[in-house]
Chain A
């Protein structure tokens, strides 16, 4: 399935490494982008591509926390709970999200839209509290902003409030 759809990408990835197994994470990441999680079928296919056994792929996949081995909601909300974010209100945000979505951390809403997770530092400690939703970062969060983001996601599948190329503090234009 991966091979049919992503034939060229896979060929290009394999060319980058002298040893096939190095393509493991790129292919696992690809499988997850495709289905939202890494299915057993995908792991078997990756094993075939890399000339490995399925258990070698499984063994590797279980090490990496970003790889979901079970299906999750359309939007994976991952809130950072490490110390630097916790100092500026991450815990309050997590509790509020639980109430707002009506689920606990680790659960998925009944409409299958949102899965809520807490994660460790995502490299935006100066702009916390923050969360990652699928590929995008959202920073300097408060309730109002999160409400808006969730609305946007429900409606459009994306939100303009996501972070662009990161810089903090922003450059100050020279005062005239």
Chain B
């Protein structure tokens, strides 16, 4: 099996490493922050992150340095950094590990990002369920404050940065960056219309950068080892660096695997993950969290980088790879994901609010043996009326399990409907919506 150098998981893979300040410093921790404060201007830091090719790991893959560059430099009022630690995309569990096992790596990334964009305050918006992660981060912040890395005069310079942990209270949509900002302002987490973008009108309408946990964890390494080094890893020029893929489902060794972008799904699933858990062969997989369209065994040799997965008709999304063996009903799988999206739709946009409930009811009906001819066309029609017609990308996300399973496993839907037709009595319909 090929061995790859770990960047983000390197420390925590040392047996016994617990992520204390002392341990983090011993592995070279906070050297990047020192270097930045000593030798680099904010503009130089942004330039380095641009040159590294780092793209956001939260789902959309936006180039991080370019995002930072959008923040107005001469803005008189405060600016903010928000670290997106909401991690609620089904199939994703990397940020939890990064925070609980090596919290200072994240804090160092946050501090450098704050310096680069000129933000005196950072909020870590962490999902409410991650109580342990929040406690670990709070402890780490106190340690860092004690050592002079956080506070009004960092390491004796006139740079002052405060970092606070802000816990959510259960709402997937608060991972969407503008819903996150609304939630942080103490409101219901309803996404905002863009533009204006957070870079100019974000938290409290002030310039704000929202970055994912894994994105920020990469920053100290880029500073320490150089943009060219980072840009040489993975599939340059568009997908540089490593990614932590969260492998779940019917594999022998599920878990987090950090590999250079561009490794194939086959290698992740069959080498790192040890292959299928039983003799049953692979039937299909989700390549990037619940929002990413399903793929089939024909796509195993697709490279896990932004472009290749997009070309294959899906997306790398949050990095969650879920494997399903032969025997798994894809109608059932789509239904299970649709239950999630129905539950989590925030209700702001009509197509998503109403559409998610209609799609769910149709899927429930088909699965319960009450499918009707025309249901599949109706599903497709509904999906097309949601896609692209909502304020945030949730609408596009919720139709992807339905459309992709219809695309590759339509016969399973048809078989259920034929069966229902054959056994249908004159009594008619089956009650739906059990939630």
Whether B111 sits at the interface, judged by CB under 8 Å, is no
Residues of B within 8 A of A66 (CB): 128-129, 168-170
Nearest CB of B to A88, in Å? 7
Of all A-B residue pairs in the complex, the 8 with the closest CB atoms, nearest first, are A24-B186, A66-B170, A64-B169, A21-B186, A126-B254, A65-B170, A121-B90, A165-B100
Whether B344 sits at the interface, judged by CB under 8 Å, is yes
Nearest CB of B to A109, in Å? 23
Nearest CB of A to B67, in Å? 23
Residues of A within 8 A of B15 (CB): 171-174
Whether A147 sits at the interface, judged by CB under 8 Å, is no
**Within the assembled complex, what's the spacing in Å between the Cα atoms of A156 and B87?**
31
Which of the candidate stretches A2-10, A78-86, A92-100 sits at the interface with the other chain?
A: A78-86
**Within the assembled complex, what's the spacing in Å between the Cα atoms of A124 and B130?**
11
**Within the assembled complex, what's the spacing in Å between the Cα atoms of A83 and B321?**
12
Which of the candidate stretches B53-61, B333-341, B380-388 sits at the interface with the other chain?
A: B333-341
Whether B45 sits at the interface, judged by CB under 8 Å, is no
Whether B299 sits at the interface, judged by CB under 8 Å, is no
Whether A120 sits at the interface, judged by CB under 8 Å, is yes
Other than A125-B90, A171-B15, give 4 A-B pairs with Cβ distance below 8 A. Answer: A21-B187, A66-B129, A126-B93, A136-B131
> Given A22-B184, A63-B171, A165-B132, A125 and B320 touching (CB < 8 A)?
yes
> Is the CB–CB distance between B172 and A120 below 8 Å?
yes
Pick the contact of A87: B131, B132, B164, B250 (CB < 8 A): B250
> Given A84-B91, A168-B255, A26 and B167 touching (CB < 8 A)?
yes
Most buried by B among A22, A63, A173: A63
Cβ contacts A17-29/B at 8 Å (1 or 0 each): 0111111111011
Q: Which residue of B lies closest to A86 (CB)?
A: B336
Nearest CB of B to A103, in Å? 18
Pick the contact of A171: B12, B340, B343 (CB < 8 A): B12
Cβ contacts B2-43/A at 8 Å (1 or 0 each): 000000000011110111000000000000000000000000
**Within the assembled complex, what's the spacing in Å between the Cα atoms of A137 and B133?**
11
Pick the contact of A22: B97, B172, B185, B188 (CB < 8 A): B185
> Is the CB–CB distance between A165 and B93 below 8 Å?
no
Residues of A within 8 A of B167 (CB): 25-26, 29
27 inter-chain pairs at a CB distance below 8 angstroms, sorted by A residue, are A19-B204, A22-B185, A25-B167, A25-B168, A25-B183, A26-B166, A29-B167, A63-B346, A64-B128, A65-B169, A65-B170, A67-B169, A81-B339, A82-B290, A88-B250, A120-B344, A121-B90, A125-B91, A125-B246, A126-B93, A126-B247, A132-B129, A165-B100, A165-B132, A171-B13, A171-B17, A173-B15
Nearest CB of B to A134, in Å? 9
Q: Which residue of A lies closest to B93 (CB)?
A: A123
**Within the assembled complex, what's the spacing in Å between the Cα atoms of A67 and B167?**
12
Whether B365 sits at the interface, judged by CB under 8 Å, is no
Chain B interface category by residue count: 35 or more
Whether B136 sits at the interface, judged by CB under 8 Å, is yes
Q: Which residue of A lies closest to B162 (CB)?
A: A16
> Is the CB–CB distance between A84 and B185 below 8 Å?
no
> Given A21-B187, A125-B246, A125-B248, A82 and B340 touching (CB < 8 A)?
yes
Q: Which of A142-176 contact B (CB under 8 A)?
A: 163-169, 171-174
* Chain B interface residues toward A at CB < 8 A: 12-15, 17-19, 78, 87-93, 95-97, 100-101, 127-132, 136, 162, 164, 166-172, 183-189, 204, 246-250, 253-256, 290, 320, 322, 324, 328, 333, 336-337, 339-340, 343-344, 346
| Total count of chain A residues near the partner, CB < 8 A | 51
> Is the CB–CB distance between B290 and A83 below 8 Å?
yes
> Given A165-B100, A167-B97, A59 and B188 touching (CB < 8 A)?
yes
**Within the assembled complex, what's the spacing in Å between the Cα atoms of A128 and B328?**
17
> Is the CB–CB distance between A83 and B93 below 8 Å?
no
> Is the CB–CB distance between A124 and B93 below 8 Å?
yes
Whether A101 sits at the interface, judged by CB under 8 Å, is no
Whether A50 sits at the interface, judged by CB under 8 Å, is yes
**Within the assembled complex, what's the spacing in Å between the Cα atoms of A117 and B13?**
35
> Is the CB–CB distance between A87 and B322 below 8 Å?
yes
> Is the CB–CB distance between A84 and B186 below 8 Å?
no
Residues of A within 8 A of B96 (CB): 123-124, 166
> Is the CB–CB distance between B128 and A165 below 8 Å?
no
> Is the CB–CB distance between B186 and A22 below 8 Å?
yes
Residues of B within 8 A of A165 (CB): 18-19, 100-101, 132, 136
Pick the contact of B87: A26, A88, A123, A132 (CB < 8 A): A123
Pick the contact of A121: B78, B91, B253 (CB < 8 A): B91
Nearest CB of A to B63, in Å? 26
**Within the assembled complex, what's the spacing in Å between the Cα atoms of A126 and B96?**
12
> Given A24-B186, A125-B254, A168-B256, A87 and B328 touching (CB < 8 A)?
yes
> Is the CB–CB distance between A163 and B249 below 8 Å?
no
Whether A55 sits at the interface, judged by CB under 8 Å, is no
> Is the CB–CB distance between B253 and A169 below 8 Å?
yes
Nearest CB of B to A168, in Å? 4
Nearest CB of B to A118, in Å? 10
Whether A60 sits at the interface, judged by CB under 8 Å, is yes
Residues of B within 8 A of A126 (CB): 93, 246-248, 254-256
**Within the assembled complex, what's the spacing in Å between the Cα atoms of A25 and B12?**
31
Pick the contact of B185: A19, A64, A67 (CB < 8 A): A19
